Amino acid sequence: MAGNFDITKPIDHLKIGDVPGSIRDLKSSVKIVIAKEHVTPGTSAAGGQHLMGAVRVSLQSGTPTLDPEGNSLDTTATTDNGRLSVDTAGSNELTVFVATSAGVSTSWNNVRVARVKADEDLDANAFSVKNLASGTQAGEAIHVGQVDTTPSTGQLKLLTPTTDAKIAVAVLDPPTEDGHVGSKKYTDNWSQVCRIWCDAAAVMTANAWTKIPHDTDDYDPDGISDLTNKRITPDKAGYYQVNAGCRVTSVQIGAVLYTLAIYKNGSAVVQAMNNPNDAGIVGAFVSDIIYLNGSTDYVESFFNNGHASNAGALSGLRVNDFLSVARVDT
């Protein structure tokens, strides 16, 4: 080309003669040819039709029904197997055009993966996570779906709580080493307390048992006092510490016993006795642990004036004349 072409001079494109012959005679037929987007192997080779390393991906709203050439996706052959779709209208849901065991494409299906390693929290998008493996993994914490629902004795089992605010588990063996966990029946809001008192003086009948007429709530958060009947009726079954006190004035001085008793369902359970002082005043306090069934059982306090004729008078003071209960078991 150097003999008939001066590279220092421009080419006049209107004159073909100015183009060097070596270029004019060159016939270029450069093509990059992909003979087929895919081949059509037999069903034994289904799924390998597209070019090695290539994936045909659709990025659009909804799953496509046509291929890039405008042809309907073939659900009767193997030609469209392996296409991927990213549905931009469905939170970028990834689906794949899959084949049956016979190698024939059927429809768009969700993509399955063997393992996902998350770099951040996985969002289930308000759907339930199902079909997780049961059982625990050695050396690892218990994960959702890995709690055995049919364990052997001593293994953890989740149960359905019978009421709100309760946690239910199967009974576990008592722990024998540090770091082991044992189970125990749990109930919420088990405590119950109440205190009532008599705020007015009252005559105590001579030589007889007289119910102390408690008529005022000191505290009763659960509403278990019965001021009409001068008693307390707990509505939760269990063991209660029951306390009663009184101060009676104008009693007979001398060798006379005065008795304060706690009654359960109309019968004395525990009593305390005392003698009056030289001013004719007697005080008494009594306490015990009593089981109450949480429905019909109730407690009251009674005072017995041991003198045949001198009645005596209840002081009517909050600090002296009271009846209280407090549940002590769980």
Whether residue 226 is found in the same domain as residue 289: yes
Q: What is the mean pLDDT of residues 150-160?
A: 53
Whether residue 203 is found in the same domain as residue 305: yes
**For 24-43, what is each residue's pLDDT tens digit?**
665 544 333 343 444 444 44
Whether residue 171 is found in the same domain as residue 218: no
Question: What's CA 164's distance to the chain center, in Å?
Answer: 10
Whether residue 247 is found in the same domain as residue 272: yes
Other C-beta atoms closer than 10 Å to the C-beta of 280 total: 15
* Burial classification of residue 119, based on how many CB atoms lie within 10 Å of its CB (0-12 exposed, 13-18 middle, 19 or more buried): exposed
Name residues whose C-beta falls within 8 Å of residue 301's C-beta, 6 or more positions apart in sequence: 211, 212, 214, 244, 246, 260, 261, 262, 263, 286, 323
Whether residue 118 is found in the same domain as residue 85: yes
Whether residue 199 is found in the same domain as residue 312: yes
Nearest Cα to Cα of residue 246 among 220, 216, 274, 206? 274
Whether residue 165 is found in the same domain as residue 48: no
Q: Which amino acid is at 265?
A: N
Give domain status of residue 159, yes or no.
yes
Give domain status of residue 313, yes or no.
yes
Name the DSSP class of 130. Answer: -
Which CATH number do you get for residue 245?
A: 2.60.120.40
Whether residue 208 is found in the same domain as residue 318: yes
DSSP, collapsed to helix, strand or coil, labels residue 209 as strand
Domain count, the chain: 3
Question: Among 38-47, 104-113, 174-183, which stretch is predicted with the lowest mean pLDDT?
Answer: 38-47
**For 237-248, what is each residue's pLDDT tens digit?**
999 999 999 988
Whether residue 253 is found in the same domain as residue 269: yes
Q: pTM for the whole thing?
A: 0.48
**For 48-68, what is each residue's pLDDT tens digit?**
344 444 567 777 888 888 877
Whether residue 92 is found in the same domain as residue 19: yes
Q: Which domain holds residue 178?
A: 147-188
Q: Are 290 and 269 in contact (CB under 8 A)?
A: yes
Give domain status of residue 134, yes or no.
no
Q: Can you tell me the distance from the alpha carbon of 147 to that of 132, in angstroms, rounded to the nearest whole number? A: 10
Whether residue 209 is found in the same domain as residue 295: yes
Final residue of a structural domain among 100, 129, 158: 129
